[in-house]
Structure 1
Amino acid sequence: MFIVFAIILMILVVFMAIYFYKFYKNEYKLTDSKIKKSVMIFTGFTLIGIMIRGVVTGIIVFIILFFSTLLFNGLGKYFKGIKLADFSLILGILLTGIIILVGVFTAYDVKQTSYSITTDKMEEGEKLSIAMIADVHLGVSITSINIEKYAKEIEKQKPDIVLLVGDIFDDSTKKEEMEKTSIILGDIKSTYGTYYVYGNHDTAPHNMFSELNEDMVLDNLLKNGINVINDETVLIDDWFYLVGRNDISIDNNRESFHNLIKDIDLSKPVIVLDHQPLELDVLADKGVDLALSGHTHNDQIFPGNLIVGLIYNNSYGLKTIGDFNSVVTSGIGTWGTPIRLGTISEYVLIELIGRSEK
């Protein structure tokens, strides 16, 4: 996935560079020396971004700088008295810096998002308090130190159960950080413990250079009291069911949802954990009360969140289909780069509340 993403962005950068050259030379009659100077500056800032935070950051810097410079050049055509075009590159650099700083601040400014959802499968007034974390991508913007802080915040809310919905770890996560974070997450106090489903990055299935592997991650989770439920159904305290799904990008032949719930009592609340928000209509039809997912990041950077909304039935937030509810989080961390624009970093608290007598 990362390789495909990087190739697409690099192709985009090449086309933008060609356009940049032709547009500037023909539209503004710039000399070759000025163009070369601009290209060198663009390349320099891109390389700085790559060296500081990797390829994705470098490419994002290039794209923002390109369009910022283009913006001031365009404004310069209509406000010639201000001579914006003469300083377009400097102004573009300043605007890029501001945008990047805002993006970094937004990525690190983790919010608490709360939802209240009702079900007729619980006694009126009965409550189940759920804490949900997904998409930490440990090491990109969030470290074990940050996780310890948010774990304490969550524990103060006295949740009944803690649900970890994939991509807590990342291909680039260091083994030591994974071990520390497993301890922290396993230590969160709740009534029914902590449950975990894998995302598409947790065990670094597509990265031969990662320090992590499935056996290592699984061993650390289990020894710290974290229950891993992939394609498994668990009845909690004879009260409600958890159905954990294998991430579809890891297992294309994962167990059918029908088989996972064929023997359960559907008069009890059913909560599905699936890293990617898939098959929502199927879940609604099968009598599921709540599905929890992440993965989308709400696409992390605007305007991508407008596009991801066309791909998934629910790309972010709460969506209700009859008595079925889907909650998709944008994630507590970020992927690829510690930048968010037009989206938020969050952990989620959900209260499932009985709305009438059984």
Structure 2
Amino acid sequence: MWLLIFGITILVCVIGIIYLINAISRFGFISKMQKKWQRKLLSALIIALFFTGSTFLLGLVNAMAILLYVLLFFILSGIIVYIIQKVSGRKSDIYLQGWIAIAVSIIHLSCAYYLCHVVTRTDYDLKSDKEVSGIHIALIADSHLGTTFDGEGFARELSKIEAAGPDLLIIAGDFVDNDSNKKDMVRACEALGNLDLRYGVYFVYGNHDKHTFNGRDFSAQELEDELIKNNVYVLEDEIVNIDNLCIAGRKDYATSQREDILELLKDADESKYIIVIDHEPTDYENECMSTADLVVSGHTHGGQLLLIKYLGEILGVNDQTYGYKRINSTDFIVTSGISDWALDFKTGVRSEYVMINVN
């Protein structure tokens, strides 16, 4: 799906650049040039310099996202200005479409950068008839080390989570990705090992954790070794029982052959509060028929960008993009993630860590 999205994005960018060349050529200082080819050439150079600078500072994916949003706001502002002029019967001497688009793009992308980089806390209060009153579960996912923070930055975020007083921490996959480096991975694992939590830390792999594409300086085995070295429970279709909790970690849906959820939980003690960690929210139909009390996931980044926020659900890729849902007697929570993959922007959602209070 992502290859299809990337291909469509490139096509839209190419068409968008042609549109933007025409739109930018209408700014006053450019429109005064006598020859049309000169106006078009200068507009193209401005776009090229802007795109090159964005790529240099933030990377190709971010540059493409910025370009798409600028294009969107030029189109929308053009429609709005056209309607206003038709209704009023007056045409402004100022190039309103262009200036509105630029102003909105700056404000929107600045807010999106903030929403991505500043991690907030989200709370959910759940009810259970089982003997788990007062259990506090911290949930994070999709740290994608190296995108918005390095190993030290991750350690700082963990200190905030620890201060919130959870009994355990769940990491629902995509701890690292292809662009992460070993130094940050080791430091982040050490930070996990330094946490003082009643029930410890539990981890499942996401679709990025094991698949290096020959692009990073550590292997999946080295990642697992560092996690285990720092007392993190790495669960791959495995169950851990501790006090009144049963914690089941599933293999990733997209990258591994995994057990059916009913098979995985067949021997689980139903008197315990059963938590299932599943990186991708794709198996609700079966999970809601199981003995699971709570299923937690990440992967979607909450939709990440407003333009594609609900695309996964529309295409049937994800059962839920973000937030809380209850089906039968099972609670489902999908977090938007503590960071982002490749992009430095989040719109329509923000980076978070989750506190789940069970009473």
TM-score, structure 1 length as denominator?
0.88
- 2:250 matched to which residue of 1? 245
Q: How many Å separate the matches in 2 of 1:69 and 1:264?
A: 56
Residue type of the alignment partner of 1:300: Q
Structure 1 position 303 matched with structure 2 position 291: no
Aligned-pair distance for 1:73? Answer: 4.0
Structure 1 position 292 matched with structure 2 position 296: yes
- 2:338 matched to which residue of 1? 332
Look up the SS of the partner of 2:217 in the other structure: coil
Say if 1:290 and 1:326, in contact at 8 Å, map to a contact too: yes
> Which of 36, 40, 59 lines up with 1:35 in the alignment?
40
- 1:58 matched to which residue of 2? 63
- 2:206 matched to which residue of 1? 199
Structure 2, gaps ≥5 residues long:
26-30
Residue type of the alignment partner of 1:66: L
Q: How many Å separate the matches in 2 of 1:98 and 1:144?
A: 30
Aligned-pair distance for 1:228? Answer: 0.3
Matches within 5 A, 1:144-293: 144-203=151-210, 205=211, 207-237=213-243, 239-251=244-256, 253-293=257-297
- 1:99 matched to which residue of 2? 108
Q: How many Å separate the matches in 1 of 2:75 and 2:313?
A: 28
* Shift in CA distance, 240/271, structure 1 to aligned 2, threshold 3 Å: same
Look up the SS of the partner of 1:285 in the other structure: coil
Q: How many Å separate the matches in 2 of 1:164 and 1:89?
A: 44
Q: How many Å separate the matches in 1 of 2:46 and 2:350?
A: 31
Q: How many Å separate the matches in 2 of 1:46 and 1:20?
A: 12
Aligned-pair distance for 1:116? Answer: 1.0
Look up the SS of the partner of 1:162 in the other structure: strand
Deviations 1:103-129 (A, max 9, x none): 111112211111111112226xx2221
Q: In terms of mean alpha carbon deviation, does 303-312 or 333-342 score higher?
A: 303-312
> Which of 76, 93, 100 lines up with 1:83 in the alignment?
93
Aligned-pair distance for 1:300? Answer: 1.2
- 2:139 matched to which residue of 1? 132
Aligned-pair distance for 1:206? Answer: 5.1
Q: How many Å separate the matches in 2 of 1:286 and 1:75?
A: 51
Structure 1, gaps ≥5 residues long:
354-358
Say if 1:45 and 1:61, in contact at 8 Å, map to a contact too: no
Q: How large is the RMSD of aligned CA atoms in angstroms?
A: 2.5
Aligned-pair distance for 1:338? Answer: 1.1
Q: How many Å separate the matches in 2 of 1:290 and 1:75?
A: 46
Residue type of the alignment partner of 1:62: L
Aligned-pair distance for 1:23? Answer: 8.3
Aligned-pair distance for 1:140? Answer: 0.7
Say if 1:172 and 1:211, in contact at 8 Å, map to a contact too: no
> Which of 121, 124, 136 lines up with 2:130 in the alignment?
121
Aligned-pair distance for 1:229? Answer: 0.4
Say if 1:65 and 1:93, in contact at 8 Å, map to a contact too: yes
Say if 1:245 and 1:274, in contact at 8 Å, map to a contact too: yes
Residue type of the alignment partner of 1:141: T
Say if 2:310 and 2:321, in contact at 8 Å, map to a contact too: no
Matches within 5 A, 1:8-27: 8-20=8-20
Look up the SS of the partner of 2:183 in the other structure: helix
Say if 1:42 and 1:62, in contact at 8 Å, map to a contact too: no
Q: In terms of mean alpha carbon deviation, does 4-13 or 322-331 score higher?
A: 4-13
- 2:72 matched to which residue of 1? 67
- 1:356 matched to which residue of 2? none
Say if 2:177 and 2:212, in contact at 8 Å, map to a contact too: no
TM-score, structure 2 length as denominator?
0.88
Aligned-pair distance for 1:236? Answer: 1.4
Deviations 1:101-156 (A, max 9, x none): 11111112211111111112226xx2221111111111111222322222122212
Number of equivalences? 346
Residue type of the alignment partner of 2:336: S
Say if 2:201 and 2:232, in contact at 8 Å, map to a contact too: yes
* Shift in CA distance, 157/68, structure 1 to aligned 2, threshold 3 Å: closer
Look up the SS of the partner of 1:119 in the other structure: coil
Aligned-pair distance for 1:247? Answer: 0.6
The percentage of aligned residue pairs carrying the same residue is 28
Deviations 1:268-299 (A, max 9, x none): 22110000012112111112100010001111
> Which of 340, 348, 354 lines up with 1:342 in the alignment?
348
Deviations 1:248-271 (A, max 9, x none): 1211x2122222112222232211
